[in-house]
Structure 1
Amino acid sequence: MKILLYLEAEDFLSRSGIGRAMKHQQRALDLMHIDWTKDPNEDYDILHLNTYGPNSWKMLKKAKKAGKKVIFHGHSTKEDFQDSFLLSNFIAPFFKMYLMRFYKAADLIITPTEYSKSLIRSYGINCPIIPISNGIDLAKYSRSEAKEAAFREHFKIKPGEKVVITAALYFKRKGIDDFAKVAEKMPDVRFIWFGYQNLWTIPGWIRRLVKKNHPQNLEFPGYIAGDVFEGAMTEADCFFFPSREETEGIVVLEALASHQKVVVRDIPVYNGWLDDQSASMAKDVNGFVRALRDVLDGRVDKTAEGYKVAQSRSIQHSAEELLAAYQEAYDLKD
């Protein structure tokens, strides 16, 4: 059995959650010793699509015509498209219709959580839908004094300075507005938003917030990967992720795998795998402030239980489930 992994616009998406999920798939296939390629010109048995662009549609039609099985990875829903790019809320209903063309044409759909499965099923999709976590490479996020030093040096972190971080695109859906409001209410704490988004693809108020309309204790250094970011994940005092909608939230898994204290918005996507024993949860700005104060003042530490969640969604577990999904797709009757 050979898998064709296809990610349209891979260079553009490499820094996104979808891009990281694609890398996780490659790692999982290697762990399971499954033959795979990214070259559409090679022979294959199953097409695993990660994107929904025009070239992806051509690949899907070509695969079906050749009698190949097609798996579509449900990274996206109408719900998590909203509150993102300019005009996204206006476009969202049409985006849903467009997505459904792919979902209806697939032989099997993989999606990261039971929550995202329920959304896709509510669209009227009848093919098998299997929830499989994007997975996390636990070893990659183990503590490293060198990486932590790289983070401290890069940001000139002072001794005793409290630092709260997050990582996301500049979207309202990601909670960028609440992140700024929380920072404003906690002027003694340093807030860092890792991530980048072309400023002309987002609403003007977010563009202005990123460029100048934010508290002095909040900074937007852009996209930073490697030692500095991985050092931040273990060295910062808390990872705060106020996203309003996710299909899973890979960065949350990365934080949990880093033995980091985590504060998230209490939203349905976490039902069944993340709870108030493994992460602090709140619903609004005042709740976030209280949760962060509890963490920063040492009253709350859920890192041990949080790491158990990361272990349960390790790349090894995801790899085993992915192998079973490929076998199910391969065995499906036309």
Structure 2
Amino acid sequence: MKILLYFEGEKILAKSGIGRALDHQKRALSEVGIEYTLDPNCTDYDILHINTYGIHSHGMISKARKLGKKVIYHAHSTEEDFRNSFVGSNTISPLVKKYLVSLYKKADYIITPTQYSKELLQGYGITVPISAISNGIDLERFKHSEQKEEAFRAHFNIKENEKVIICVGLYFERKGIIDFVEIAKRLPEYRFIWFGYTPMYSIPKNVRDIVKGEHPENVEFPGYIKGDIIEGAYSAADLFFFPSHEETEGIVILEALASKQQILVRDIPVYAGWLKKNINCYMGKTQDEFTLLIQQIINHELPSTEEAGYATAKEKSIEEIGQELKEIYRKVADVNNKSESVVHQGNSY
């Protein structure tokens, strides 16, 4: 079996969660011995596994159909997580929804990261079979490393006993960036670092102004940083605070869990079934709740959730995801084989 992993705009999306999802897919398929190609001109594949929804996506599906190939669409995006992101996103989100539905309905099978996003897609009226499979996490990459932690501390000149709270995400209101800054104002004794980057021209003015300077001195926006520094930050920080309002999963949460970090998230439906409040994470809803929980976590007034969080990450390891993808591929390929068998039998009479 050979899979064509199609990812339009790979360079543009490399810094996003979707970009990391492709890396995880490649690793996962290699782990379970499934051959794959990234070459969109390839024709000797069995299944097109398409990850993006750019202008060339329709054409890729049409080409696959002409070749008699099966199509799996990886639904990383929904209308809900498009809203409150780019300039004008709320205005055009209904059109984005129609466009996504038009693409997703062309597939033989849909994969989406969580049960929550699966239910959203079904609510759109999509009747294509859907399975919820996590984007997965590379446990080895986020394994504790003194060298990486020191790289993080040195880069940001973190002093002994200084308390640091981090978040990783695009500069979107949806990601909770406004709450992140407002809560930092309440807690000037802590350092708040938001990793990630989005071009300034693409985000609304209120968010742009926050990033460019309308934030307290204890908040930093160092931009997109990869490698030892960010990986060290995940484990060396005192808390991973992710106040996002909407996600289809949240790969950065898996990265924090794999780093055995304490995490605090907003209590939203996407986490149902895999994040458990007060067990493998802490959850809040309001700025008052977040402020109190941050203080309690930093001061060790609440039990640690690190080990339970790591156990959750292990369940979503690259190896586990590879096995789940393999089963889906087999299921889709088996349908194809059965259809061919029926045609063959019909022609024999």
TM-score by length of 1: 0.99
Where in structure 1 are there 5+ consecutive unaligned residues? none
Q: Which structure 2 residues correspond to residues 1-334 of structure 1 after superposition, within 5 A?
A: 1-42=1-42, 43-276=44-277, 277-300=279-302, 301-333=304-336
Where in structure 2 are there 5+ consecutive unaligned residues? 340-349
Q: Distance in 1 between matches of 2:332 and 2:301?
A: 48
For 2:78, the aligned partner's letter is T
Q: Helix, strand or coil for the counterpart of 2:273?
A: coil
Q: Distance in 2 between matches of 1:40 and 1:2?
A: 13
For 1:250, the aligned partner's letter is I
Q: Distance in 2 between matches of 1:35 and 1:201?
A: 37
Q: Helix, strand or coil for the counterpart of 2:178?
A: helix
Q: Helix, strand or coil for the counterpart of 2:18?
A: helix
Q: How many residues align?
A: 334
CA-to-partner distance for each residue in 1:243-282, whole Å, 9 max, x for gaps?
Answer: 0000000000000000000000000000000011110100
CA-to-partner distance for each residue in 1:25-60, whole Å, 9 max, x for gaps?
Answer: 000000011010001222211001000011111101
For 2:322, the aligned partner's letter is A
- How much does 1:332 deviate? 2.2
For 1:213, the aligned partner's letter is E
CA-to-partner distance for each residue in 1:306-328, whole Å, 9 max, x for gaps?
Answer: 11111111111111000001111
For 1:27, the aligned partner's letter is R
CA-to-partner distance for each residue in 1:111-138, whole Å, 9 max, x for gaps?
Answer: 0000000000111111110100011111
CA-to-partner distance for each residue in 1:215-260, whole Å, 9 max, x for gaps?
Answer: 1100100000000000000100000000000000000000000000
Q: Distance in 2 between matches of 1:209 and 1:332?
A: 52
For 1:313, the aligned partner's letter is K
Q: Helix, strand or coil for the counterpart of 2:175?
A: coil
For 1:330, the aligned partner's letter is A
Q: Distance in 2 between matches of 1:291 and 1:64?
A: 52
For 1:320, the aligned partner's letter is Q
Q: Helix, strand or coil for the counterpart of 2:141?
A: helix
- How much does 1:89 deviate? 0.4
Q: Helix, strand or coil for the counterpart of 2:56?
A: helix
Larger Rg: 2
- How much does 1:101 deviate? 0.9
- How much does 1:202 deviate? 0.4
For 1:75, the aligned partner's letter is H
- How much does 1:329 deviate? 1.4
CA RMSD between the two structures: 0.7
Q: Helix, strand or coil for the counterpart of 2:166?
A: strand
Tell me which residue corresponds to 2:342: none
Runs of 4+ off more than 3 Å: none
For 1:316, the aligned partner's letter is E
